Amino acid sequence: MVVIYPGSFDPVTYGHIDIIKRCARKFNTVIVAVLNNKSKKNMFTIEERVELLELALVEYDNIEVDTFSGLLVDYTKEKGCTTLIRGLRAVSDYEYEMQMALVNKKLDDDIETLFMVASGKYGYLSSSIVKEVAGFGGDISCFVPSIVEKSLIKKIEEGMD
Ligand code: COA
């Protein structure tokens, strides 16, 4: 079974990696689909976000990193895969996730969204909070892999120039 795990991944954190690796143990192939949304202001370019994901997930041969733009349901059709994975960190995620799952279902009745409960130790993580901590010089090594940490610090230093 092939599943798609979509998101912005700006940048990927241990919270995302936890979901992806657990999916890779349960499904034949996991497609990590990075949203190429030009209207959203991301810190990392689409190429950088893909590269960081590939480096972070290098040891898994059933994980594919890809990009998409436009509607997620159109991308799922293109890939011939109708199962989406979303992580649930806290009750606060539920409303938004329900809305997305129901809209996607309305747009394409074949789509099924499966929710995976995030590990408790990453339940508080988001890409923005990691960027904020890094921006103030805090230690982010427990939130992201070292390659992401280095790239994030470099971005912040470049932004200061
Ligand atoms: N661990 C850590 N952080 C997590 C996480 C986890 N398990 N799950 C989510 N997050 C964080 C992300 O880092 C992100 O943080 P940020 O807001 O600080 O950047 C935040 O939670 C949102 O997660 P994400 O999965 O990236 O959601 P998104 O809202 O950026 O993207 C899409 C969701 C891409 C699936 C959705 O926008 C989409 O499908 N867009 C395409 C257009 C479309 O089809 N729209 C109709 C769908 S209803």
80-139 residue pLDDT tens: 999 999 999 988 889 999 999 999 999 999 999 999 999 999 999 999 999 999 999 999
**Residue 29: pLDDT over 70:** yes
Confidence of residue 159 (pLDDT cuts 50, 70, 90): confident
Its pTM stands at: 0.95
Question: Which pLDDT score is estimated for 91?
Answer: 85
Q: Which of 9, 17, 126, 140 to mutate to test the pocket of ligand 1 (most atoms within 8 A of CB)?
A: 126
Q: Which positions ≥6 away from 82 have C-beta within 8 Å?
A: 76, 108, 110, 111, 112
Mean per-residue pLDDT, 154-160 = 88
Chain mean pLDDT for the chain: 95
Ligand 1 is surrounded, with C-beta below 6 A, by: 6-8, 10, 13, 15-16, 19, 35, 71-72, 87, 89, 100, 103-104, 118, 122, 125-128
Cα–Cα distance, 77 to 155 (Å, whole number): 35
Distance in Å, CA 146 to ligand 1 centroid: 22
pLDDT at residue 7 above 80?
A: yes
What pLDDT score does 161 carry? 65
pLDDT of residue 2: 97
Examine the pLDDT at 160 and tell me if it is beyond 80.
no
- Tell me which residue of 107, 34, 97, 102 sits closest to 69, measured CA to CA: 34
Positions marked catalytic = 16, 40, 89, 127
What pLDDT band is residue 24 in, cutting at 50, 70 and 90? Answer: very high
CB 8 within 8 A of CB 40: yes
Mean pLDDT, rounded, for 64-73 = 97
Cis peptide before 11 (omega within 30 of 0): yes
Quote the CA–CA distance of 44 and 9 in Å, as a whole number.
9
Cβ atoms of 2 and 29 within 8 Å: the answer is yes
Residues of the chain above pLDDT 90, percent: 92
